Amino acid sequence: MNQGPGFFVVIEGPSGVGKSTVVEHIRAELAARGVPVVATKEPSDSALGKLARQGTDEYRGLVLACLVAADRYYHLEYDIRPALRAGYVVVCDRYVPTSFVLQRIDGVEPGFLAQLNQYADEPDLTVVLTGEPKRSEQRAADRGVYSRFHLGGAAARAVEDRLYREVVHQLQEAGSAVLHHEVADEPAEAVAAVVLNAVLERLEQRSG
């Protein structure tokens, strides 16, 4: 689990499923309740993160996997762990599960990815949002394509969706705390409410 008295929650899922919107809703709701909270994302806003985000057309396979992992460890050391030690709830948009999806799509073996990310802190809760791939594709298209991982149409979306569902199964098999929520026609506020309730329940259990 995380290294500190805070609470580490990760929001995962295919591109266009609504992760970023849910993250912001949760941050705002927790802050309104007086809970110390910080929202962050991966790739991070560090120089490493910007290189990973902007270089997906140039960097591929093992190179990109290592770059993403390097950014993750930097993110943990300089942003996530200090916030957790200070007692914050850290809500992160994408984390290790993304590597087990996008880097696998990029041809990297799962075993190598597991070794590369073995020192990454385990979240207190991993939330994986999945939904109809066509709906996610449309949302992503409306937002704008910004990396080669967002190309490929319906077939690519179906693969991404399948891999995220595999990640859910793997997390459950490993005994990790995971919430899998199927996003249908719900507004982002409704999805965020489900996630928020799960976070609040676990915070209450911890304080009790």
Q: For 188-202, how does the pLDDT look when each residue is reduced to its tens digit (9 = 90+)? A: 889 999 999 999 999
Lowest mean pLDDT among 2-6, 135-139, 181-185, 203-207: 135-139
**What's residue 206's pLDDT?**
85
**What's residue 133's pLDDT?**
63
Instruction: Give the integer Cα–Cα distance in Å for 166 and 184.
Output: 19
Q: Is the pLDDT of residue 145 over 90?
A: no
Q: Which helix (H) or strand (E) segment is 104 a member of?
A: helix 104-105
**What's residue 144's pLDDT?**
57
**What's residue 184's pLDDT?**
82
CB atoms inside a 10 Å sphere around CB 114: 13
The owner of tokens 């007692």 is 87
Q: What is the DSSP string of 35-96?
A: --EEEEESS-SSHHHHHHHHTTTT--HHHHHHHHHHHHHHHIIIIIHHHHHTT-EEEEES-H
Mean pLDDT of the chain: 91
In which band, very low, low, confident or very high, does the pLDDT at 207 lie, cut at 50, 70 and 90?
Answer: confident
Q: Which of 165, 89, 91 has the alpha carbon at shortest distance from 128?
A: 165
Q: Is the pLDDT of residue 8 over 90?
A: yes
**What's residue 198's pLDDT?**
96
Q: Is the pLDDT of residue 85 over 90?
A: yes
Exposure pattern of 136-172 as b/e (b: 16+ CB <10 Å)?
A: bbebbeeeeeeeebbeeeeebbebbbebbbebbeebe
Q: For 24-52, how does the pLDDT look when each residue is reduced to its tens digit (9 = 90+)? A: 999 999 999 999 999 999 999 999 999 99
130, 14 Cβ separation under 8 angstroms: yes
Domains defined along the chain, listed by start: 7-207 (3.40.50.300)
Asked whether the CA dihedral 153, 127, 19, 131 is positive or negative, the reply is positive
